[in-house]
Structure 1
Amino acid sequence: MSVETKGLFEKEQIESFSNGRNEPDWVRDIRLKGLELSETAALPKPDKTKIDKWNFVQPRFKLNEKPKATSVSALAEELKALIGEETDEQNLLVQQDTSAVYSKLNAELAEKGVIFTDIQTALNKHADLVKPYFFGEAVKPEENRLTALHAALLNGGAFIYVPKNVEVELPLQAVFSLETPEAVLSNHVIVVAEENSSVTYVENYVSTTEEAAVANIIAEVYAKANARVAFGAVDNLGSNVTTYVVRRAHVEKDARVDWALGQMNDGNTVSENTTHLVGDGSWADTKTVSIGRGEQKQNFTTQIFHHGKHSEGHILKHGVMREAATAIFNGITKIEHGATKSNGVQTERVLMLSEKARGDANPILLIDEDDVTAGHAASVGQVDPLQMFYLMSRGISRTEAERLVIHGFLAPVVEQLPIESVKERMREAIERKVR
């Protein structure tokens, strides 16, 4: 099935949906612009991956409201498993389909001006604060057909705002659950860290529907001067969910963004993670772990653009392909003219565990400045038969030996993840995939 949107969604539908959510006029205008563009714009062109037959469209984006939960204990078991034990200090947002069913922010943080809420509430109550960052410098609706569709059908997400000089010590956690068949989850997440602030944000994506669905996800991160943002995500959507996810950051002078991404979807996935180091002394560190299985196809592109002097960009990606899964791992380090004394380093490693599995690692350095340092490493290969023989000679079954090899291959990345809760979710997701 190709991505055909003309006639599927009407202008009146979009206007009615926007008005029903009491959105500002400028949001409605972005939606209508996205709808118009979705009929003419081209699909994104991920390297070496044909997506023109992928199913990125479903008829339902306006979903039934879910009842509110008064506590974590009232949530579904699969959601409670992601959240863990409920505490007084917990900062949590839970969204089922497109309904924010539970929200909690520490009172002390709220008093300091921290905002952590669902995107609909943010557009209703904090529209002036959201507006500069909503499809701001990081992402534009006109980039391609899928970003345009996202703008038109946006129906969920979160807004995080940390004022100047405020440090958020405990993580902010969001859980997004896709449960309705034939649905499009068009989630938009915005993280804004003002000067000298810090925050850790962790999001989890899961699905329970067994029928076809689509996740179209965009996250925008803005780290102002000397701010620190740690962004963790574990994507764990089912084999019936086609996923397009874009996560981008703009990092100003002496600011830092750490990405910890677990790409554990079972369905076809295109994922792009881009960081622009716009300020002098800015820093980005991206760590990604993925396991492919079945016949799924995946494309992961990680990009760091150095604009500021003395900027640091690090990319580390490990992927395991099982059965007949295929994946492309692209890493791009671009040092722009004028970004002197910058340093860009990247490593991509892919392990294939069957004859039909395919993995491709492509590290790319684009250097437009002389006075810099940059390096890359890549490897693609099958598991060492001597490793398997040694393990099996000790009485371990082939299945268990393969499980141990996968955990060992991914451990160097998982152990370096800067967010403890993401480490835990990652280990659980890895175990589920290799079980």
Structure 2
Amino acid sequence: MNQATAPIPEPWKRLRDLGALAPGGDFALEPTGAGPLNGLTFAVKDLYDIAGRVTGGGNPDWLRTHQPAKVHAASVTRLLAAGARAIGKTVTDELAFSLNGQNFHYGTPRNSAAPDRIPGGSSSGSAAAVAGGACDFALGTDTGGSVRIPAALNGIFGIRPSHGTVDDRGVMALARSHDTVGWFARSADLLARVGGVLLPPDGGEDAPFGEVYLARDAWALADPAVAAALAPAREKAISAIGPAIDMTLAADCGGLSAWRTAFRFLQMREIWAEHGAWIECEKPRFGPEIAERFAMSKEAAARTDSGEAELRRTITRRLDDMLSADGILIVPTAADIAPLKSMSAADSAGFRDRTLSLTCIAGLARLPQVTLPAGLVQGAPVGLSLIARHGRDRALLALAARLAPEVCL
């Protein structure tokens, strides 16, 4: 058969080859309009509603006990109207409650940058789809790092927007005061183009960024090899933005470990409020680590707040004041390179705790964060993150696009 008459491959075939195709994710949606995303393709994490399909949430029992969606999620509708074509749904960690990207039921999507290592989660399939070339960009969600971490571990760009700025109707919730709609791309320019469709105009000041904050306690969490690999990109970013201010972010309010502990308590209470009734009723089968986390969430829900909510308010005020209109906080995205798939439970917990101590900064304060691929350690990618004040998402994406030619691999 000659090339002219050969059948067009299923658009989701590459997703399947990457281990990124979610159950029931084998579909394509044509654009409904024309716009800035004409001719581009995207994949959708299996937390987003697609009309006529059940949103599976990475768990067979969730898939079994829920009905097909009646309409597309709002963000999917907007992307289709802007000219993009959807090519299928991607695997997520169970109910989005992990940073590893290893789904007990559906397997582990391929990390194309480091195939013997985990892709990171919970938006593992979407990150794998973009890094593996199956689509131009992909939708994920980010509650505790679920876009930022897989973006860094797969060597691509990702954004967690300011909380509440992107319409999340039709997206399965995990912890509502932390959940955000996020996305991945292989270039900072495309990351910004997608933001032009999904984000509202920036609010407040529009002054250019002119000051960089380097948090010693955040950088101390990074493995020395990771910090060293990111140092050249960090220095180039400082040169391009403005003077750097060395400071310690959390020394006078418990340290970043206390921030992480507060984040996990607040998140778990919300998670149990969201999913506890369904879990108690259906008694779903979870993978061992996920089952343990839901059990911890139930325990957290039974505890009284011991100052965690007030600490979150303090952190939010501090970062809003510090970043003001023109400040940028630069931190490592993850504490280490992607762990090996064969890692021990202890290694997994260590990676998670150190990395959550970094991702909880923007999570607690509801800030926008962009991660850029900025170095290699043992051949595996590492990411550099830029954090701005709430509501400066478009400006942050424009800054990332300006810096990328200088600081990225």
Structure with the higher fraction of residues in helix conformation = 2
Q: Given the two structures, how large is their TM-score scaled by the length of structure 2?
A: 0.32
Q: Given the two structures, how large is their TM-score scaled by the length of structure 1?
A: 0.31
Structure 1 or 2, whichever has the larger Rg, is 1
Higher relative contact order (CA 8 A, sep 6+): 2
Structure with the higher fraction of residues in strand conformation = 1
